[in-house]
Amino acid sequence: MERIQHEHIRMMVSEKAPRLDKYLAGKFPGLSRSQLQKLIREGLVLVNGERVMASRRLEPGDEVCIHLRPATESVLIPEQIPIPVLYEDRDLIVVDKPAGLVVHPSPGHAAHTLVNAILARCPDIKSFGDNMRPGIVHRLDRDTSGVMVIAKNPRAHQLLTEQFKARTVLKIYLVLVKGKLTPPQGVIEAPLGRDPANRKRMAVVNSGRSASTVYKVKEYLNGYSLLEVTPHTGRTHQIRVHLAAIGYPVVGDSVYGVKAHLVSRQFVHAHRLGFRLPSTGEYREFVSELSPDLKLAVEALKSSHCRN
């Protein structure tokens, strides 16, 4: 393969392959497994035109398209960005991520991320894991605020990752939607995948991956509903897409939801996160209260309700 002569390379699979990343490792020996997995995560590798996971099994006749960007030297630089810390021990750090902060460097966001901030506090995390996502075991959208956990060593990273994969981690979000959601509690089960009409968006599609979201109305607020939402799966934009799909769009969400004067960003807050500590196995839960902008939105709705 002549990497320097191509940006887009298409290959037809001639025999079964156990995993996409292993198949690509054989085709591109100059790229590490972590580099290939990063390309897959970022949607720069497509199988039959679809974005897939690194573990995707390949069959004869599958078409694999890979976009190879020009090689650039990427360096993570520690930055003194103030991040509220909820808990810290030798294995991990739990933070209260502010809205507007990207979790890790990506195209268009080379610096000023949560990872840059954590590196200034815990420089040793740079020695393990993905070179641009050290310590990261889960993510929040840029405009989603709330509680996140970051691993500080390889063992903690592995144990936390296993808990997320096994779906034993408790994740509860506070979400404001337009409308009076009834029934007051329920489960949304609908497969999610890339929107065929717009590949930058997610949508409910029959060929998508299974996704399950549990919701419970916390409070009705003058034509809006404040929800406690628990995603049982971790699909991209899952909460926002699922709620929009049943007719109750997230307030402030410019992609899937409805714009509102109440907030300048999506009203999605990671309120509670529960998992077992790698050091002791003890189950702990960590809570992030509503950020000031979201709290003001709720108070505004309550006051308008009282006036009506």
Catalytic residue IDs: 141
Q: Rounded distance, CA 142 to CA 137, Å?
A: 16
CA distances from 264 to 42, 251, 254, 283, 301 (A): 27, 9, 10, 35, 15
Q: Are 103 and 97 in contact (CB under 8 A)?
A: yes
Residue type, 237: H
- Tell me the HSE value of 13 on the side-chain side, using a 13 A CA sphere: 24
Assign residue 36 a region: left if phi > 0, alpha if psi is -120 to 50, beta otherwise? alpha
Outline where the chain has alpha helix (H): 20-27, 33-41, 114-121, 154-165, 238-245, 292-307
**What's the rounded Cα separation, in Å, for the pair 21 and 304?**
54
Q: Which residues contact 273 (CB under 8 A, 6 or more apart)?
A: 94, 147, 148, 149, 169, 170, 171, 172, 285, 286
Residue 296, number of CB atoms within 10 A of its CB: 13
